[in-house]
A and B are shown apart, each in its own frame.
Chain A
Amino acid sequence: MARLIHIKMHRLLRSKRGKLFFVLSFLLIIFIAISVLNRIANTHNVWYFNCHADGYFSQQGESLLTVDKSNLWLMLDIDHHQAQLTYKLDSSTDFTEIANLLGKVKRVDMGSFTYHLELTLQPISWQENSRLHPYLRNEYGITTPDFKDGFSVSQQIQVIDLDQTLTKATLKFLPSNNTWSCQLLSANTSD
């Protein structure tokens, strides 16, 4: 039986149809391999960005020369298809403000290293004279006044710079064009 199969295979590979079959099978294997690679490259990503900036956020009429420095933190966690962004604004004079956005990674453009996120603002009660609230409205390009719990927003985050040791990165929020300088806490490309 095995001998018969061997002879048939031998004849098939020597025939025109066999050669055509061989070429098409080869192409199919390449196609499947690329599909699998593409799937692996797009889905297996775990990134933890810890970003900080000195914030000088003035209230209405307040001079930039007199405004106190505050510390603005952004923790961005991307765990496969899940995304979480935590903002914390800390200052010596004002209360600490924390805002959390949770959502999903809709798509990843590996060519431009851009994450397309769909985020929802988690329950929060904005204080009067909040400095974080206007900043987030700016960061997410929100013009309507209803930026409150459950507000959903689409956001693109592009990694515009990443050092060779994978420890420092610069993020750019699109389309608002805000940039963040971040520490990369861990980068895991395996599943």
Chain B
Amino acid sequence: MQIGCCWFDNTRRLLVDQTTATQWHLNDHEYWVLSQLVQHRGQVVPLSMLETVAISGDCPHQLSHAELLDIISKIINYMCQRHTNLIEYVPEQGVILYTTATAKRTKILELPERLLSLGQYLFIIVILLGVLLFVYSKLNPPEFAQADVLRQVLTPDGHIVQLFVFGNNNQQDAILHADCLSSQLRLCHNIRWDSIHVALSANQDYMSFTLTDASETTPLVNSVKVSIDDMSTPFITQQWLQKVHICG
């Protein structure tokens, strides 16, 4: 009886791999299981039948499930590589010896055009796009607060102050304030702050300053808010910077 690349010699209890000319002498249990599979080829042979070894003349005895699994794996190992899937163990059911070796497709996406139709794949793609759109609608792109103007100011004592000006989308105003403030900061003899964030309110009536000194273990932060009566009149002077403790 030919089983894949092996010849099963029922009389001599031999399994011969014809590709390598290797012979395996089957013990009683292996012979029993393989002969049962051969007799019921193409059918699932129940586990109970395989576990009850009844070789002619001998008293039937029972194999444990583990022993049976071990025998099946041994028989599968006897087969050459491309025919190992001729024998399949069906959990809790039995074991089947196929008549012909079938190409086993274990991965669903291995051969998409054969496993799923074009319509089914298009349907999956539409569903995927729907999920992606849903996720995208929930994730707003980060709107990082970026300053309209960024300056680095070097003070007379060699200290560098980072100046960030948020002009409420009015670039020209932001530049004017950055110029004014940086020119005054350059004249300061002592500034403890490493960075100064300036935000001009939308109605241009108020200005917010956030001052940060990162040199300490716990960074020191101070805020200043100032009302502006007349935007055309410059108020950022040396005196004012000292009054609000930005300088000095």
A and B are partners in one complex rather than unrelated chains: yes
Comparing B20-28, B149-157, B223-231, the segment that makes contact with chain A is B223-231
Say yes or no: is B176 at the interface (Cβ < 8 Å to chain A): no
Decide: B226 and A64 in contact? CB cutoff 8 A.
yes
CB distance from A1 to the nearest CB of B (A): 14
Roughly how many angstroms separate A168 CA and B220 CA in the complex, as a whole number?
10
Q: Which residues of A contact B108 (CB under 8 A)?
A: 19, 22-23
Q: Which residues of A contact B141 (CB under 8 A)?
A: 111-112
8 Å CB contacts to A: which residues of B2-39? Answer: none
Say yes or no: is B70 at the interface (Cβ < 8 Å to chain A): no
Roughly how many angstroms separate A61 CA and B227 CA in the complex, as a whole number?
12
The chain B residue sitting closest to A20, CB to CB, is B120
- Digit string of A39-72 for contact with B (CB within 8 Å is 1, else 0)? 0000000000001111111101100110001001
Say yes or no: is B203 at the interface (Cβ < 8 Å to chain A): yes
Roughly how many angstroms separate A38 CA and B127 CA in the complex, as a whole number?
19
Say yes or no: is B244 at the interface (Cβ < 8 Å to chain A): yes
- Digit string of A83-121 for contact with B (CB within 8 Å is 1, else 0)? 000000000000000000000000001111010000000
Known: A27-B131, A135-B227. 18 other contacts (CB 8 A): A23-B108, A27-B127, A31-B134, A55-B224, A55-B225, A58-B227, A64-B226, A109-B140, A114-B143, A138-B205, A141-B202, A158-B145, A172-B166, A176-B201, A176-B202, A177-B200, A178-B199, A181-B221
Closest 6 CB pairs of A and B: A111-B140, A53-B223, A160-B145, A177-B168, A112-B143, A181-B223
11 contacts between A and B (CB under 8 A): A16-B115, A27-B124, A34-B135, A34-B138, A53-B223, A53-B224, A112-B142, A163-B219, A170-B197, A175-B168, A179-B166
